Structure 1
Amino acid sequence: MTNAQRADLPSYQQSLIQLDGQRLCTKYLPEKQRVAWLKEVIGREYANVDIQAPKEMPLFNDMYLFPWQRGMRLSPIHSNALSIQRLAQEPDNAEQDCYFIVMPTKGEYKLEQDGKEVFLKPGEMTLYDATRPHRIEMPTAFSKLLISIPRYTLEGLVRGVSRLTATNLSKRTNMANVTLAMLAGMLKQMNQFKAQDFQSLAEPALQLITMTLNQANGIDSKLSRHRELALHRVKNYIAHNIDESNLTARQVANSVGLSVRYINNLFTEEQTSLMRYLTQQRLMLSHQILSSHLYNHFSITEVAMRCGFNSLAHFSRVFHEMYGLSPRELRKQRK
């Protein structure tokens, strides 16, 4: 490939190897095989769906997948017109249990979920739950950026995030414009990044997404921007170390460079404290695991240990206090 030809490629196509990315494209497949192939790929990488393409044009879809920190993934996608409908079945793997941030960069985009619908144009963004029924319509050729964020991560950072599905976030908060500008700029410059630099952008991107969603949800933080970022840093540390059963308030404080008193003051706005927040996050994670068939092979004890509880009796007691039934009863109820 000549330098001129390479310059015409999207910056992220030039970065596949250095950023450990993957490209999945219908280009070299016979047209009659493309629908089945794309359905299988989307089902494996994102969610179990049914797809339809207009008969008047050949199906074309070109997607790139780049792994990011915190279990997130960044996916630029280009396609001809397409309709996608989420099938009514549970995810096939834990990686599909996530939310998607969507940013169209070309064409029209319509999303339906939870009885709501939203129409987007380039420069706007929305959110949907990949595990719940939804329908997506792209009536013309389109491009979009898709960012998948694990459910546990986003629900731990944004209260009531499920209320924001299928809404135009750009019309609900100006913070969306800041987030979009950051993501669009990063997309254009991906060929300039080394792997470490690219990974280091995941956390700032997640911080902006978190602030966008909280503001769109009507949660106007009383904290200054400095204190808000400090609180995000604490929550981020907890999320990364939630399986450590001996995690203490002092250890968290020392690791993020803040005092225990200061951190508890930050949590005051959320009507909780550092250690209560830690227990709540452990319980939310355990509830998510016990509610999914993907983790049936974990015993109750294994779930407790993975979520940072070193006493099964204590885990069962606080779980019952929060959810009104025991971990074993929840698992039986789901079956």
Structure 2
Amino acid sequence: MTSSVDMMPGFDRMQLQAPFDLTYYNEQPLSGGKFHSHAFYEIYYFHEGRCTYLIGDSVFTLKPGDLLLMNGLTLHCPNVEPDSRYVRSILHFDPAWICKGLSETAKSILLDPFETLRNHRMTLTGENREEFEGMLADIHRLSSSTAGFRQERMTLRIQEMMYVIADWCQAAVQDHDSISEKERHVQHVVSFVEENYMLDLTLEGIARDMHITKHYLSSLFKEVTGTTVFKYVYHRRINQAKIMLRLHPHLSITEISQASGFKHLAHFSRMFKAMVGTTPEYYRRSGEELSLT
């Protein structure tokens, strides 16, 4: 299914041309950063500069040494301060290719940080930072060489990097695994909404995806979160609209309304005013700090 986001200006559905791709120590200024998504995983490392990174409705103010692990499907976009340096290394990879030939246990170890934590930020310091930057540099040197079995050797080095990352993420993954079944269901709803908020969602459709009844879904979500599923959906859509109003001034209010998941402009305007306290037009003009709640 093609979503409205795929057809909107200012969004990219990225394609991977090889099993993995490393952009190392990229110092080029970012011109017109776009929200994008892709069906491959991403390891993003921030070397230097001033940047706010938006992943879905999460906002990370980055500092040197920050490492982002992304499953790729969630819309994400860097917002770099004007006239600031923006130095980053980005590794995109196809998880099926990277894990080809490995045991199921090994696959689980390498992919758990991406699949369980989904979009995760950690800050590397000291020996961890030195080790990770050394691995990045080593993969980059190999990618630029004419050595025999270059791709196979790069795959091994990327696997080693992922083992190191998995080690660093063990505590966070274990904390996630210790959550209750009810909390796991609610996280499934949140993940489903994150990937589909721009589409025409129904309670029946979400419940069907989870293989539970819509009555059980409604009561469970309310019990754990204190709010309803569709209050959460509208909250997510309005947050997306706020991000787009700030970062995409070339888009009309109607385009932003549609890309955020609203069928009708009037409904969008009413919901935005009720939740934000002002109209979308005024919010765009106000120049206030980006605030996501």
TM-score of the two chains, using structure 1 as the length reference: 0.45
Which residue number in structure 2 is paired with residue 205 of structure 1?
A: 114
Cα distance in 2 for residues equivalent to 1:290 and 1:281:
14
CA gap of 1:225–1:73, structure 2 versus 1, over 3 A, is same
CA gap of 1:24–1:192, structure 2 versus 1, over 3 A, is farther
Classify the secondary structure of the residue corresponding to 1:277: helix
Match of 1:324 among 257, 269, 277: 277
Match of 2:214 among 253, 256, 260: 260
Cα distance in 2 for residues equivalent to 1:203 and 1:259:
28
Match of 2:233 among 278, 281, 302: 278
CA gap of 1:258–1:85, structure 2 versus 1, over 3 A, is same
Classify the secondary structure of the residue corresponding to 1:134: coil
Classify the secondary structure of the residue corresponding to 2:116: helix
Where do residues 176-187 of structure 1 align in structure 2 (5 Å cutoff)?
none
Cα distance in 2 for residues equivalent to 1:271 and 1:264:
11
Match of 1:86 among 49, 69, 88: 49
Counterpart check, 1:307 vs 2:276:
no
Paired residues in the alignment total 193
The answer (yes or no) to whether the contact 2:38–2:72 under 8 Å persists in 1 is no
Match of 1:334 among 282, 287, 293: 287
Where do residues 3-152 of structure 1 align in structure 2 (5 Å cutoff)?
20-25=19-24, 38-40=26-28, 43=29, 69=39, 73-75=42-44, 84-87=47-50, 97-98=54-55, 129=60, 132=61, 134-136=63-65, 146-148=68-70
CA gap of 1:39–1:327, structure 2 versus 1, over 3 A, is same
The CA deviation string for residues 28-58 of structure 1, in whole angstroms up to 9 with x for no partner, is xxxxxxxxx7422xx559x9xxxxxxxxxxx
Classify the secondary structure of the residue corresponding to 2:254: helix
Cα distance in 1 for residues equivalent to 2:232 and 2:220:
11
Identity of aligned residues (%): 21
Cα distance in 1 for residues equivalent to 2:38 and 2:192:
17
Question: Which structure has more RCO (C-alpha within 8 Å, separation ≥ 6)?
Answer: 2
Cα distance in 1 for residues equivalent to 2:235 and 2:192:
15
Residue 225 of structure 1 and its aligned partner are, at CA, apart by 2.6
Residue 134 of structure 1 and its aligned partner are, at CA, apart by 2.9
Classify the secondary structure of the residue corresponding to 1:97: strand
What one-letter code is carried by the residue in structure 2 that aligns with 1:267?
F
The CA deviation string for residues 262-295 of structure 1, in whole angstroms up to 9 with x for no partner, is 2122222211011111111111111111122xx2
After TM superposition, the structure 1 stretch with the greater mean CA deviation from structure 2, 308-317 or 234-243, is 234-243
Gaps of 5+ in 1: 1-16, 26-36, 48-66, 78-82, 100-126, 137-143, 155-185
The CA deviation string for residues 156-193 of structure 1, in whole angstroms up to 9 with x for no partner, is xxxxxxxxxxxxxxxxxxxxxxxxxxxxxx9xx74546
TM-score of the two chains, using structure 2 as the length reference: 0.51
Cα distance in 2 for residues equivalent to 1:212 and 1:85:
16
CA gap of 1:211–1:262, structure 2 versus 1, over 3 A, is farther
Cα distance in 2 for residues equivalent to 1:148 and 1:205:
6
What one-letter code is carried by the residue in structure 1 that aligns with 2:218?
N
Which residue number in structure 2 is paired with residue 248 of structure 1?
A: 202
